[in-house]
Structure 1
């Protein structure tokens, strides 16, 4: 699927994870890479995971990437919130995360804690 037809569902990337994946993940080897999980929300496809790999594909100028339909029973209310956050902060394409890469500790504080707070709020 074209990477630019898939919306991200997170606002930040973790610099440590990018650094680790750069050593293990070869975006140029598309045929042999594990596909990224996506779901649809209305008419929009979005990533449920794999944002770092999607970003590395984009950095390598690869736009057609392997994906699969995520059949996991996910909290769609949480994903809807995440997609709304992305829309509000104008994160519509994976490239929009280029200026939103954070050191690991800051990523934990800014993103992981925000998601955990949203989950607690829903309950």
Structure 2
């Protein structure tokens, strides 16, 4: 069930955003009337985290939204390596990335995104 959470109440689980993906999202995203599928979130130790949808969440923040439309990610712990998400949470905390707004200055070109983020995540597996 979708609901609204205050934007600061939802933390990211990635350190960078892909510029080409952001450009693609901004092509369809209506900043005057943000409508998007709920972003998948999970709760861990009393804090909400994005499991996906970071680019759409960032677009909502750019549009000045105070809340995010979210939905609990019920499949996360069954279908994905939850320990990897916990490691990503640690990385974000270490880098000071605690909110969507902290991703400002972390939008990078695709090759940089793959080198700095995707490769780092792949080393977990």
TM over 0.5: yes
What's the TM-score, normalizing by structure 2? 0.90
How far residue 42 of structure 1 moved from its aligned partner, in angstroms, is: 1.1
Q: Which runs of no fewer than 5 residues in structure 1 stay unpaired? A: none
* SS of residue in 2 equivalent to 1:66: strand
Show the counterpart of 1:21. Answer: 25
Q: Which runs of no fewer than 5 residues in structure 2 stay unpaired? A: none
Show the counterpart of 1:95. Answer: 101
Inter-partner Cα distance in structure 2 for 1:96 and 1:70: 22
Candidates 32, 37, 47, aligned match of 1:34: 37
Show the counterpart of 1:77. Answer: 83
How far residue 24 of structure 1 moved from its aligned partner, in angstroms, is: 1.4
| Equivalences, count | 118
Equivalent residues of 2:36, 2:56 under 8 A apart: no
RMSD: 1.1
Candidates 11, 15, 32, aligned match of 2:15: 11
What's the TM-score, normalizing by structure 1? 0.91
Equivalent residues of 1:3, 1:65 under 8 A apart: yes
How far residue 63 of structure 1 moved from its aligned partner, in angstroms, is: 1.5
How far residue 80 of structure 1 moved from its aligned partner, in angstroms, is: 0.2
